[in-house]
Structures are given as C-alpha cells and as structure tokens.
Structure 1
Amino acid sequence: MAPPTANISSSELDALTSIHNMLTAFKSFDSNSDGLITINELKAIIESLGLCSAGAAAGDKEAVEMMKQGDTNGDGLLSAEEFLALMAGEFELGELAELLQTVFPAIAGAGEEEVRGEELYEVLSCMGSAVSMDDCMDIIASMDGDGDGAVSIDDLKMVVEALSNA
C-alpha cells in the first residue's frame, strides 16, 4: 500500500513536536530508565509541561485521572507507550500520522539507528508518495530534540506507536 500523499500543515508539525517533547519529558522523569513512571513521576511531568491547574491538589487529581486513563494494563505504572498514546489523543496529526505509520516499517527495516529527512524522503519516494523533501526535513526537525538533523529509530517508533493507539 502506497503512503498517502500528505499536505503537511504547520499545526501537524507543531503537534508532532509536542508529542516528541512529551517523550523527552517522560524519559527525563523516568529516574531508573525502566520505561515506566509512577504516579509521583507523572505528577512531575504534568507540572513540568504546564498541563495542570494551579495548586498541588489539582496536580495530584490530574495525575490520578491520567493514570486511570492511560494505565491500560492495570499495573499502576505508565509505560512510555501508554503515556504517549494518552497524550497523542489530544493532538490532531491527520495525514501526517497515517504517513508515519505507513512508512515506519520500511524505515525500521533499513537497520539504521536514526533517520534523517533525506532518508525519509528517499523511502517515501520509493513508496510512491509525493511528499516533498522540505516536508520530510520539517517532519524530522519537529522531532529533533538535539538539533543534529536526525531522530532515533526508537523515538520514532514510540511516536508512531502512540499515534497508532491514539
């Protein structure tokens, strides 16, 4: 199946940036790097992203509610995938989400540890998509937290999985 021809909007790129920022926040609050966060770590993320109402009690309440909504396996913890799926549902990525979900298996199958805009463009072109090089560069830039022009395959995978579950 050919990927959709996407007209990537700035709001979709902004949403993708926000989702990637949430992944970064998740990783920074996952103190033991096990891919899971507790209710207290979730509260800290909510506060750091400015997602809670004023006051400690409001932050506690929002963290408890998010944990209830996001903890799909009932273990009392949020995995990165559960957290991103929960948060990605608040953003509209339209055609961009479908594009990333369609192209990810081909990108991941290349065996690289990271992907750059040029590589995304090459894969999409081979799949018959008319997405421009500029759009591909913008997609990668929106998830490039360290400014090196690339996004790790692991981070891209988590974002794609979150979009699939949103």
Structure 2
Amino acid sequence: MAAITTSPKNSPLHLTDLADITRVFNRFDANADGKISADELADVILTLNSSTSPSEISGMMDQIDADRDGFISLEEFAGFCAAGGDNVDGELREAFELYDINKNGLISSSELGEILTRIGERCSEEDCVKMIESVDEDGDGFVNFEEFKTMMSRSSSSLSRK
C-alpha cells in the first residue's frame, strides 16, 4: 500500500519500492516528458486533498526540486520519497488520515480502493481486501493506526536495505 500525504513537510510520499515510486511518478507526470512540473504536482495534490494551498504546493515543489530547474526528476522524486522525516509519527498520522476517508480511525478495503483510484491505480475490491488482510494484525478486516505504523516501518526498513 502506498501512503500518500499532502503535507509539505519532510516526506509527504512514502512508497515501498522503486517500482511504486516510478509508477506514482509517471502518474504525476501527466504529459510524460520525464519530469513533474509545478502544475502537474498541483493537479495531483489537489485531487487528493482540495484543502492544500498554492503556497503549500509551492513549498513542496521547492523541497523536492533539488537542482532548482523548476521540475522534479524521477531521481529527485525517488530521493524525496525515501527520505526520513523528523516528525515521522505525525506524517504517518497524516497519511493514515488521508486513507481513512470516513474518519472512523480505520482504513477499509473500500477506502483503500477509493484512494488508489484517485491516484490512477486500478485495484479490484478483492485486491484491496487482500492488501488490508496482509497488514490486519487483529483480524477485524480493517487497518488501524498501529497496524498502519507497523506496515510503514516494515516498508521503510525494506527500502533502506535496497
């Protein structure tokens, strides 16, 4: 499961491997020119979270665009996704809340499917159920915040070994 949050803080995108990073990068790169412009970044962020201000989007662009050429390359994007943050628990909470659409403290397979659809991923209900089951430690059919943190820490440690 890819966790996405729209905070302009340290690492608003946390993905589990290079294939996921490349897939999301390609979704952001709407015109397929191999780079993400500020407009492309804004389009995706606003699709995910309409309350993100233009100044927050600009801050995200400034943070990710390491070479200051006005665009985000795949290399910059990958580095940004893999970067750790000072406020990891807060960022994980923001990511969790993005998936928890109905704000009940749990991520359901339908909520997971809706977020994946928003970012252009096709995922059947059955696949979403399987993804939830793979991290559902208490067997209730949902992912709570503690399960989400455990899942993300596993993902982070697998990234650091690559």
The structure, 1 or 2, with the larger RCO (C-alpha pairs under 8 Å, 6+ apart) is: 1
Higher helix share: 1
Q: Please report the TM-score for the alignment, with normalisation by the length of structure 2.
A: 0.40
Task: Tell me the TM-score normalized by structure 1.
Answer: 0.39
